[in-house]
Amino acid sequence: MQIEILQLIEGARQARGLAVVIDVFRAFSTACYVMANGARTIVPVGGLETAYRLKRHWPDAVLMGERGGLKQPGFDYGNSPTHARDARFDGRTVVMTTSAGTQGIVNASGADEIVTGSFVNAGAIVEFIRRRRPEHVSLIAMGWGGKEEAEEDTLCAEWIAAALQGREFPGGFESIVERLKGESGTNRFLDLDGEPDASNPRSDFGLCLALNRFPFVLRVEPYEDAEGARAAEVGEPLSGLRRIDV
């Protein structure tokens, strides 16, 4: 099995084989909390306009996501795992657009198969890949806005790569948490030292670093299934995240 670590939107475009699109802070951590709390699927989209258009077609859909870390006008939720953990999404379709994570999915069109990547389901991702035994694995660290490398996503890629190769990660997971606590981008974004803020509560940090909290992967699939007719009305190909327990 060849394992390649790629960076940012450019890396997503180069992805091939089985691709893991990684966004620890916070899209794909949040997505796991959403699916654990009963959502039927998450539809990842690139543009805000697409999200608004889908909401017009599907008034019962939940709108979730951010720009610059902030919940957008008309959205039901921002991108916070704290808020997702405290909500129920039973049977709902959640439309999600974020600055980095969902852009990675949209751009990884050359991959054979895509799953989302985060620490909260890293063990399940490793087990899923082991069972699939792909020739090539692309681990894509999506970074800040898909444009600037972020340590947590690169560390998550390295963590998954080490596990696939049967290696211990130097210093263990504790060393990762310590490194991220002191990382300037994390502090700036999640405001770890300041007051909790509506879009970026401090508790997001711990919830995104709850290693192996969820025993499932989120696989990107064409959004056809039972809602094919509704998807066709939108006039563009859509995908949906499906929970696969490992």
Q: Under the rule (CB under 6 A), what is the footprint of ligand L3UKIRZJ?
A: 23, 25-27, 66, 68-69, 79, 98-101, 144-145, 189
Closest CA to 43 of 218, 245, 233, 244: 218
Q: How far is the CB of 168 from ligand L3UKIRZJ (least distance, A)?
A: 28
Which residue lies nearer to ligand L3UKIRZJ by CB, 82 or 98? 98
Report which DSSP code applies to 121.
Answer: G
Closest CA to 239 of 45, 99, 97, 28: 45
Closest CA to 245 of 224, 223, 225, 217: 217
Q: How far is the CB of 93 from ligand L3UKIRZJ (least distance, A)?
A: 19
Which residue lies nearer to ligand L3UKIRZJ by CB, 17 or 104? 104
CB 219 within 8 A of CB 111: no
How distant, in Å, are the alpha carbons of 56, 60, 208 from that of 234? 10, 15, 33
Which residue lies nearer to ligand L3UKIRZJ by CB, 52 or 144? 144
Q: How far is the CB of 226 from ligand L3UKIRZJ (least distance, A)?
A: 28
Residues 6+ apart with CB under 8 A from 210: 119, 120
Q: How far is the CB of 148 from ligand L3UKIRZJ (least distance, A)?
A: 8
Which residue lies nearer to ligand L3UKIRZJ by CB, 134 or 180? 180
Q: How far is the CB of 184 from ligand L3UKIRZJ (least distance, A)?
A: 13
